[in-house]
Amino acid sequence: MNCLVSIIVPCYKQAHYLDQCLQSVLEQTYNYWECIIVNDGSPDHTKTIAHQWVKKDARFRYLEQENGGLSNARNAGIFISEGSLILPLDADDVLHPDYLSRLVPVLIEKNNLSIVSCYTAFFIQSVDKTYFQLKPKGSELINLLYQNQLVSTSLYRKSSWEKVGGYDEQMKTGFEDWEFWLRVLKTEGLAYHIFPEVLFFYRKSKKSMLVDTVTNHLESVKKYIIQKHPEIYKSDFQNFISVQFHYLQTARAKENALKNSAEYKLGRLLLKPFKFLFSPDRRNKFTK
C-alpha cells in the first residue's frame, strides 16, 4: 500500500493561506506523499513561504514559473511529479488528516475506478466552523454531464492525466476540473466513487475563481464543455433537451418574479419622467 501520492498545490496571490494548506498536508496519517508547490508567477511572498516548507520537510518541492493560469500550473506540477497517484489541492483549502489514508486504498484496490472523491465542508475562517456540506451523488459519466459532482481536490492516477493530455489550458475562467473529469471518464470508460465522509475543507471567499465563474462565465464555460464533448451529450439527447428547457424556464421565472417585485415597479415609476424627457419624439420636437 506504499503508493506515492503527488499533491500539487498551485499558488497565485494566496501566500497568506499557504501555511494552513501545507500544514494539513504535513499532518496526513498516510506518509507516502510528495507535495509540489507551484508558484504561478505570484507577486506576493509565496516563494518565501514555500522555501520554509521545503526546508522543514524534504517531501515538499518547489516549482516557480511565469503566470500561466491554474490549468497550466497543475500540468507543470504533475509533469515533474514522481507519484503514481495525483491529488490537486488549491492553496487556500485544507485536507482532513485522514484524507489520503481513507481514499488511497479505495483507488488502489478497485480497478473499475478512475477517480475517488469525498464529502466537502465549506468554511470561511476556521475548519472548526463549517456552514455547509457538499455530498455529491452518482458514480458514472452521465452523472457529471450537467453538474460537476466532483471537487477539484479528488484523487486519480497519473496515468489518467497522461492518457487525456492533462488539464485544458485554454480554460482560464474556471470549471477546468469538470471538463477534465469528463475527459478522464469518457476515455477510460470507468467510474468514480464518493467516499461518504467529510475529508476535504473548501474555503469560501467573496473573491474566488469559482465565484467569478458562476457569476460571469457560467454559460460560456458550459457551452465550451458541451461543444468539446458533443458525443456524450448527443448520447443523452432527450435528457439534454429537458435540462436546457429547464434552465430557460427557470430564467424566465426569475425574470417574471423580478418584474412583479415592488422594487422593480417603484423603479419604473421613478424613471418614467426621465423616459418621457429623453424619448425620441420629444428630442425631435426640440430640434425642429
Residue 209 has pLDDT above 80, yes or no: no
In tens, the pLDDT along 24-61 reads 999 999 999 999 999 999 999 999 999 999 999 999 99
Identify whether the C-beta of residue 206 lies closer than 8 Å to the C-beta of residue 109: no
Residue 143 has pLDDT above 60, yes or no: yes
The Cα–Cα gap between 32 and 29 comes to: 9
pLDDT score recorded for residue 215: 67
pTM of the model: 0.85
Per-domain residue ranges for the chain? 5-207, 240-287
The Cα–Cα gap between 180 and 135 comes to: 20
Identify whether the C-beta of residue 225 lies closer than 8 Å to the C-beta of residue 168: no
DSSP letter for each residue of 160-181: HHHHHTSS-TT--SS-HHHHHH
73 φψ region: left (φ > 0), alpha (ψ -120 to 50), beta (else): alpha
The Cα–Cα gap between 239 and 146 comes to: 10
- The architecture (CATH level 2) of 5-207 comes to Alpha-Beta Complex (3.90)
Identify whether the C-beta of residue 5 lies closer than 8 Å to the C-beta of residue 85: yes
- Look over the chain and give the mean of its residue pLDDT values, rounded to a whole number: 89
In tens, the pLDDT along 60-111 reads 999 999 999 999 999 999 999 999 999 999 999 999 999 999 999 999 999 9
